[in-house]
Structure 1
């Protein structure tokens, strides 16, 4: 038997109006949602079966639609000369003055976005969590991975029970103490690396800034901007988590073995079929024993951020971020009542 959508919609409406079926029963029978059922019923009551035809989804109004006069000129010139779009637009702009250049809307870019280029080790360290896996004992494992972009060296791969800052920060601290500080760390915009607050501040990236490390962030939903790191993740998952180990400790042993092979045995085509360990060298900046507070020029007003994340600024106490509580910030007036945080 063959039928079409319009007939099915009409039959649905007739079945409902017969009073033998409820809306819930009919929707289950015809495999549609209740909002769809009520919508079709309303259209049938208004205009009968003819109103159940598919309607155009084209917008009824288009503010940017080309004027009819311009369309006719374009078609006439196209038929007469056979020119392409660029030539036709230039002629209409110069001879008739009908077209004008529209200012392009500036593309939004979040703070911290930066192009990725390195020519020496430890300039940029990509870092990320490789999803999660469930070990044989029922525990979740979230591997935190850190690489050096130039040499491809996998600097750290630590399985953690969650992505909380309290667990991720010790991994970075241990790595900083072992090999030193990079120029920049590159991550996505998820926790714990960034937040949805002002400038994406989080406890982790504030700590990096205090250490003099630039935090680079890829654009949202753009993992290809950390493509090299994502490629390593594919190998990591294939070799260590399919299937996962019996316990978290056994899973970490797999991560350690993978890191050893990845750094010292596996040749990488992107670096001339060499190994990452043959290119990588330790950082030139050591991890400091204590963080030195920032020093501001005399013309900058200094305010301390309260435990609530606010600071004093006449006529009130603007909120900044709780991750900066207890820290001193500099304020520079750039206009009447307009301040920059420096």
Structure 2
């Protein structure tokens, strides 16, 4: 272009049109050539000479240092911590923090997964702390010395506060001992959400075990999810993913060291880590202990005057109209109330929890655990008439 201009055959306007550039670009290239610099023709950086919105090095250093301290926290949680500690400073957006961490080599590229379509989940409405807790055993694994560990986890559904992470035997007695310590420290919730597996649920009357029957005597309602539906306890399962990534990859050498990791994670999760579902504040800012304290002694359930009272024997049976009727082994030694219905059947209750029905043939029909959005079979359609002229009479069949 400059050689064509030196020949004198074309004007600057014609050359700019021919090479598809602006006049300012032409004069800039001519100025570089006339400067006498040997590499004047090499393309230079296109970055602006000045950027008033560029993050200053001091803030970049603070962001990088915080990421190195908390390597499991992403840009949004780091931004929440920085704004919490230094509200007087103007921090960059979370996307900018992500770019700075990439430049520092602190974010490894991951394969983006296509998000599934969202669906309505039957979560119980929770408004304040201790309305509902969630409990589960995170999948077992072995430590470096081969010891099997079963971590029992407990969270508050409203504040996401991690109430406990404890290695205990996956039994009713082991779980009850761990829950007793949590109840004495934080008080009693109104309800506990769990799956249907042992030691929380069973296939017996009302889905109860000795553990969930103990909850009812404490005034805690068990909330059972549908079988094979962990998404109905999604708040708790999401915490499990974070717990696994930060404490068991790889596992500790011994069970004691693994428990120390769980304790450190619980303190970090509650007091330092911002939680996106509650406005990027730590759960400890929202959680308060329950005012319902654990009683020193459990009394027998109380029933209305229209109930007949029976105590369940060691065989799981009661005596009803001089005949043994099996109820549940989970309620051995407990009092149940039996009230007559208009149909002539008798409803069997433990505390305020309906566990089954004794029909007129004195057969106990157990109830499954109550669940939200449970399937109800449709009402049978009326029999269609075979003729529009002569109506067909239906006859009920009675044996004998």
TM-score (norm. length: structure 1): 0.65
Question: Does 2:138 correspond to 1:130?
Answer: yes
Whole-angstrom distance in 2 between the partners of 1:242 and 1:252:
14
User: What are the Cα deviations for residues 126-165 of structure 1, in whole angstroms up to 9, with x where unaligned?
Assistant: 11000111011111101000000111110000012x3111
User: What are the Cα deviations for residues 227-285 of structure 1, in whole angstroms up to 9, with x where unaligned?
Assistant: 11111000101111111111111110000000011001100111110000000000010
Gaps of 5+ in 1: 1-112
Aligned-residue offset at 1:114: 6.7
Question: Does 2:270 correspond to 1:263?
Answer: yes
Question: Does 2:159 correspond to 1:155?
Answer: no
Aligned-residue offset at 1:316: 1.8
Larger deviation, residues 311-320 vs 266-275: 311-320
Q: 1:301–1:327: structure 2 CA closer, same or farther, 3 Å change rule?
A: same
Asked whether the 8 Å contact 1:157–1:256 carries over to 2, the reply is yes
Asked whether the 8 Å contact 1:114–1:217 carries over to 2, the reply is no
Question: Does 2:236 correspond to 1:229?
Answer: yes
Aligned-residue offset at 1:336: 6.0
Matched residue, 1:329: 336
Whole-angstrom distance in 1 between the partners of 2:122 and 2:163:
22
Q: 1:186–1:336: structure 2 CA closer, same or farther, 3 Å change rule?
A: closer
CA RMSD across the alignment: 1.4
Aligned-residue offset at 1:335: 4.4
User: What are the Cα deviations for residues 42-69 of structure 1, in whole angstroms up to 9, with x where unaligned?
Assistant: xxxxxxxxxxxxxxxxxxxxxxxxxxxx
Match of 1:214 among 200, 203, 221: 221
Question: Does 2:129 correspond to 1:121?
Answer: yes
Whole-angstrom distance in 2 between the partners of 1:186 and 1:336:
33
Q: What does 1:74-89 correspond to in 2, within 5 Å? A: none
Higher helix share: 1
Q: 1:163–1:264: structure 2 CA closer, same or farther, 3 Å change rule?
A: same
User: What are the Cα deviations for residues 10-50 of structure 1, in whole angstroms up to 9, with x where unaligned?
Assistant: xxxxxxxxxxxxxxxxxxxxxxxxxxxxxxxxxxxxxxxxx
Q: What does 1:247-262 correspond to in 2, within 5 Å? A: 247-262=254-269
Larger deviation, residues 286-295 vs 330-339: 330-339
Q: Which has the larger radius of gyration?
A: 2
Aligned-residue offset at 1:298: 2.5
Q: What does 1:1-342 correspond to in 2, within 5 Å? A: 115-160=123-168, 162-314=169-321, 316-335=323-342, 337-342=344-349
Whole-angstrom distance in 2 between the partners of 1:296 and 1:202:
21
Whole-angstrom distance in 2 between the partners of 1:319 and 1:124:
32
TM-score (norm. length: structure 2): 0.56
Asked whether the 8 Å contact 1:114–1:216 carries over to 2, the reply is no
Whole-angstrom distance in 1 between the partners of 2:330 and 2:218:
15
Asked whether the 8 Å contact 1:188–1:219 carries over to 2, the reply is yes
Q: SS of the counterpart of 1:194? A: coil
Aligned-residue offset at 1:297: 2.5
